Amino acid sequence: MKTASGNTSIMDMFEEGKVVKMCAPMVRYSKLAFRSLVRKYSCDVCFTPMIIAADFLRSVKARDSEFTTNKSDRPLIVQFAAQDPQTLADAACVVAPFSDGVDLNCGCPQRWAMSAGYGACLINKPELVEDMVRHVRNQVDNPDYTVSIKIRIHKDLRQTVDLCQKAESAGVSWITVHGRTTEERHQPVHYDAIKTIKDSVSVPVIANGDIKYLRDVESTHQHTGVNGVMAARGLLANPAMFAGYEDTPLQCIWDWVDIAVEQGTPFSCFHHHLIYMLERVSSQPERKVFNSLSSTSAVIDYLQNTYGSIHDPDTQICPF
């Protein structure tokens, strides 16, 4: 099955039995330019940053600033924060012609989100989540358009299984499980919990949390039996991770420069991504100099002088 954009549909990827590799929704970071970069390096599916559905519907300015895409930016999932079914369904109908699915954020643990009725507080409202999934399913005309949820786990895993089974009954396409509770941040991921959820539903399950190298993709798949994995910080540090690179290759650095310049990426975003990419492959004095740079031209000059271009015959001596 091909999507309207001519790409293989996400559900077909699951049916083919491949471990689908996804770029997580990341506020400020998983925007079009970064999505364009990771797609060059074996990322199968990308998510937008989380968008507050009510603001998106209310403001043209919010729509223009929060949702930017192009024809090659597929398959694309738009992630929304929402607290009522009709708002989510209305937002889904707006983005459906330009994307392959919507995802409901049920995992953001930040206090502001939970106090507003968004994010991880929804894992304690399974009937509401069920209703929101059903509304999108009923109101988006395209039967191939996906509706998914991204969740965290409960301390009592029976509650998480109940949530997932309710979402499945409402027609959820797949479920992404961040294998930590709402209170946990950097504690080890509960892979056994992800496996329990995978074994409790028939829809595809995606594992999220601590995917830092390609080998983590396979080990997580082996441990849990999931249909795919989602990475966030691992891709920020190395956008070529899914292609098997241990650290960010020089080609990827220059690809980012080209994409960011072509798309007019604001300097702060352009620079922050490079700070992440260079962290593991540069010394502390080098990072101190690089982090202090304040213009795109200064960054390009620094990269050229420090590492050389990808076409430079001397680039074999660079640490990438």
Q: Does 132 show up as a binding residue in the annotation?
A: no
CB of 225 within 8 A of CB of 177?
no
Mean pLDDT value of segment 209-222? 96
C-alpha 282, offset from chain centre: 26
b/e per residue 197-221 (b: at least 16 CB within 10 A) = bbebbebbbbbbbbbebbebbeebe
- How is domain 12-243 classified at the architecture level of CATH? Alpha-Beta Barrel (3.20)
Q: Does 284 show up as a binding residue in the annotation?
A: no
Q: Does 232 show up as a binding residue in the annotation?
A: yes
Q: What is the pTM of this model?
A: 0.94
Q: Does 27 show up as a binding residue in the annotation?
A: yes
Q: What is the pLDDT, as a whole number, of residue 185?
A: 86
> 76-81 and 51-52 as β-strands: parallel, antiparallel, unpaired?
parallel
Q: Indicate if the pLDDT at residue 14 is higher than 70.
A: yes
Which of 280, 284, 270 shows the shortest CA–CA distance to 320? 280
Q: Does 25 show up as a binding residue in the annotation?
A: yes
Q: Indicate if the pLDDT at residue 319 is higher than 90.
A: no
Q: What is the pLDDT, as a whole number, of residue 6?
A: 52
Q: Which of 23, 108, 121, 252 is catalytic?
A: 108
* Positions of CATH 3.20.20.70 in the chain: 12-243
Residue 45, SS3?
A: strand
C-alpha 256, offset from chain centre: 18
Reported as a single tens digit per residue, the pLDDT across 53-69 is: 999 999 998 898 899 99
Reported as a single tens digit per residue, the pLDDT across 23-51 is: 999 999 999 999 999 999 999 999 999 99
**What's the rounded Cα separation, in Å, for the pair 316 and 28?**
33
Q: DSSP letter at 189? A: P
Residue 309, SS3?
A: coil
Mean pLDDT value of segment 95-100? 97
Reported as a single tens digit per residue, the pLDDT across 145-192 is: 999 999 999 999 999 999 999 999 999 999 999 999 999 988 999 999
Q: What is the pLDDT, as a whole number, of residue 83?
A: 97
Q: What is the pLDDT, as a whole number, of residue 165?
A: 98
Confidence label for 266 from pLDDT (cuts 50, 70 and 90): very high
Average pLDDT over the chain reads 93
**What's the rounded Cα separation, in Å, for the pair 183 and 259?**
37
**What's the rounded Cα separation, in Å, for the pair 170 and 215?**
34
Mean pLDDT value of segment 276-280? 95
Q: What is the pLDDT, as a whole number, of residue 230?
A: 98
Residue 230, SS3?
A: strand
Q: What is the pLDDT, as a whole number, of residue 3?
A: 46
Q: Is there a catalytic annotation at residue 46?
A: no
Q: What percent of the chain has pLDDT over 70?
A: 94
